[in-house]
């Protein structure tokens, strides 16, 4: 399943509330994408690393 997560650029919103959901969806095998402001690039990069999978 494809999931698009959107977040306002607030330090308390993305890392504490949304990031665990994004990571869980990625671990479950879903394709995930995140839409947020550039100011949250470091946090979104962490989400990308934790949910990325390599093809077997």
Q: CA nearest 1: which of 32, 35, 34? A: 32
H/E run at residue 32? strand 31-35
Tens of pLDDT, residue by residue over 16-38, are 888 889 889 989 999 998 888 88
pLDDT at 13: 80
The SS3 assignment for 13 reads: coil
Residues 6+ apart with CB under 8 A from 39: 9
pLDDT category at 56 given cuts 50, 70, 90 is very low
Residue 31: CB atoms within 10 Å: 12
Domain spans, the chain: 2-51
pLDDT for position 55: 38
**Is-above-0.95 flag for pTM?**
no
HSE-up of residue 35 (Cα within 13 Å, Cβ side): 4
């Amino acid at each position: 399943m494809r999931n698009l997560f959107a977040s306002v650029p607030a330090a308390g919103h993305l890392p504490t509330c949304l990031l665990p959901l994004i990571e869980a969806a990625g671990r479950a095998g879903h394709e995930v994408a995140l839409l947020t402001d550039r100011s949250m690039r470091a946090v979104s990069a962490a989400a990308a690393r934790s949910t990325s999978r390599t093809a077997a």
